[in-house]
Chains A and B, each alone.
Chain A
Amino acid sequence: MSAVATSTRQAPGGMNVKLANRIVIYGLLALFAVFYLMPLFVMLVTSFKTMDEIQNGNMLALPRAPTFEPWLKAWGETCVGLTCAGIKGYFWNSIKMVVPAVLISTMLGALNGYVLTKWRFRGATLVFGLMLFACFIPFQSVLLPMATILGSLGRFGVTLQNTFGTSFGLGNPTVNLVFVHVVYGIGFTTLFFRNYYEAFPTELVKAAQVDGASFFQIFRRIMLPNSLPIIVVTVIYQFTNIWNDFLFASAYAGTGDAMPMTVALNNVVNTSTGVVEYNVNMAAAMIAALPTLLVYVLAGRYFVRGLMAGAVKG
């Protein structure tokens, strides 16, 4: 190794060694690219094949006669447990859960970050530390109490329903999941905004304060207009996390019509009645993956930044 490296600078024959080096590096990089792309490729081509072709053909071959049939079937007909109406309903369940959960947790995170950096008080670091630790807990340690509380709220909702004709959303699995994701998402959103606002010039806030601007005026007119990058990062991070969640979804909406997409997909794949339609399974998996993949393709830079911000603090 050492001989190789030194010869590249001195000997005239170094060019060849250098070229060989480059070939090895590019070869390895290409090999790993294949490793990362393979499962997605297989999933994609399989979802466009007929069952006949899957059983008799090669996994890696392109579909001979590409068909959209599996996608249509996955969307509108396939069986999730005992209901055979496709995954479309569950897809919308996920959307209905993700949108409010992301908006609320992001908004709270922005306010918290603003308070923690620009209105420091004694004990602010401790408060932040306690909220931050909440990001890391294994959710198994809160799973059961939350199930108990949601159960009681649900029963209370039934009482309300009987007396007032509306349960105010209590006991609705989608509402429950929004609540759960907000509660356990605040830590991350607060972390993102806190770190971002830490670098935001405090003089601007001070100046506005001297001029009599109120707490919320400063937030609305000064902080928010300058927060676009971190809002994008937070929204993407929360969207990906909540869309992909399985543990909460299966614990609190694991059966029935309110299942989110991930639970429905797991059910589709593990439904053991009749012939297993692999092409439909793969199409369903692709549909479940598309929203987050799309976000990744459109805003990859922000996606990575969000992951980094969650990993490398300060």
Chain B
Amino acid sequence: MSSVATTQIKLTPERTRPRVSVRSRLQDALPKLVLAPSFAITIVFVYGFILWTVYLSFTNSKTFPSYVITGSRAYQRLWRWTFDTDPPSSWYTSITNMGIFGFLYIFICLALGLFLAILLDQKIRGEGALRPIYLYPMALSFIVTGVAWKWFLDPGLGLEQTLHQWGWTSFHFDWIKNKDFVIYTVVIAGVWQASGFIMAMFLAGLRGIDGEIMKAAQIDGATTFQLYRRIVIPLLRPIFLSAFIVLAHLAIKSYDLVVALTSGGPGGSAWLPSNFMYEYTFKRNEMAVGSASAVIMLMTIVAIIVPYLYSELREKPR
């Protein structure tokens, strides 16, 4: 092994003793020096900036940042708005939408992804052609997805119009213009984009299951349904967890799709907290409130991700 490496790397023989020690000291520190810039950047631009945002949320910053702490007024306002349901406050709308969108998006993506993966795992001819069809939306930008679905769901141009032309004149589908239903169109487009990827995750998981277990269960007389219900799905637990993490953090970060698909919806009725943050910070000159909402978003992510990362990184050395 070592002879291989010597052929590639020549040592300079005329080194003097002190130079070796300086050089070796440098060599020892080199790995850390190489990592240091990236680490420093992360500390400053991620953790430092997060603290900065937290700080701003306790000031009375409006159009421009102010650095005088004035207490938790921004949070108090958000808290009050949480219960402002009639007429609904922007914050109430945003977090309600987050609940609806988050739940449906995660649930449907998981269900549809698993369902498609199981179907595709039935020794399908043409699987190689079908898989990329299910998966390609993941390569698109949310903006492109939004533009495409905006057209498709537009009552005057898209699906409704087409079905009218085909003779189903009573068909009515104007969710995208309806303030009570617009968030569901975001769910449709979001599911369209991500479910294929979740399918791929489950499919990889299914392919990793030991065929012997399946055979043994079949010999024992398990039906197909029992086989999946009792054996396969429990074995896919880690995939469920990973997929959930991916979807949850995609859902909380969702911003572009709402903008491109609905432009915020009638009267901001399609806003998610991310849109709320952007609008309040950059358009409505309520920087402190915007920052407070960003902190709440971050806390939600922390609650989901940190336990996950902790367990992932801790298990490693075993």
A: residues with CB less than 8 A from B are 1-2, 4-6, 25-26, 28-29, 32-33, 35-40, 42-43, 46, 54, 58-60, 108, 111-112, 115-116, 119, 121, 125, 127-134, 136-146, 148, 183-184, 186-187, 190, 203-204, 207-208, 210-217, 221-222, 240, 243-244, 246-247, 251, 262, 265-266, 269-270, 278, 281-282, 285, 288-289, 292-293, 295-297, 300, 303-304, 307-308, 310-314
Contacts and interface: CB of A to CB of B under 8 A. Distances in A.
Nearest to B200: A304
A26 to B, nearest CB: 7
Given A42-B152, A121-B32, A142 B297 contact: no
Given A39-B148, A58-B165, A304 B135 contact: yes
27 contacts: A2-B225, A2-B226, A29-B130, A39-B145, A42-B151, A43-B148, A115-B32, A136-B305, A136-B309, A141-B298, A142-B50, A142-B53, A207-B1, A211-B6, A217-B9, A244-B140, A244-B141, A244-B143, A265-B143, A278-B157, A282-B147, A282-B148, A285-B147, A289-B140, A297-B132, A300-B135, A308-B200
A152 B48 CA distance: 17
Contacts of A278: 151, 157
B239 to A, nearest CB: 8
Contacts of A203: 1
Instruction: Please report whether the interface of chain B is mostly helix, strand, loop or mixed according to DSSP.
Output: helix
Q: Which of A26, A33, A37, A145 has the most CB of B within 10 A?
A: A145
Given A2-B226, A108-B38, A148-B65, 9 more contacts: A5-B224, A35-B192, A138-B253, A140-B293, A146-B49, A265-B141, A265-B144, A281-B147, A304-B200
A138 B246 contact: no
Interface size class of B (residues with CB under 8 A): 35 or more
Interface string B36-78: 0111011101111110110010000000010000000000000
B281 A131 contact: no
B282 A251 contact: yes
B315 interface: yes
Contacts of A281: 147, 151
A33 B137 CA distance: 12
Q: Which of B9, B35, B263 has the most CB of A within 10 A?
A: B35
B91 interface: no
Contacts of A266: 143, 259-260
Contacts of B38: 108, 111-112, 131, 186, 190
Interface string B275-318: 00110011000010011011101100100011001101101100
B169 interface: no
Contacts of A183: 41-42, 45-46
B139 interface: yes
Nearest to B224: A5
A99 to B, nearest CB: 17
Interface string B159-176: 101100100000000000
Contacts of A312: 201, 238-239, 242
Given A5-B223, A138-B274, A282 B151 contact: yes
Contacts of B144: 265, 285, 288-289
A245 to B, nearest CB: 8
A119 to B, nearest CB: 4
Contact of A59 (B161, B243, B281): B161
Interface stretch (B81-89, B100-108, B118-126): B118-126
B271 interface: no
A6 B49 contact: no
Given A39-B149, A203-B1, A313 B312 contact: yes
Contact of B9 (A116, A121, A221, A262): A221
Contacts of A139: 253
Given A6-B223, A289-B141, A293-B140, A247 B255 contact: yes
Contacts of B150: 269
B221 interface: yes
Interface string B198-222: 0011001000000000000000010
B35 A115 contact: yes
Contacts of A212: 9, 11
A36 B133 contact: yes
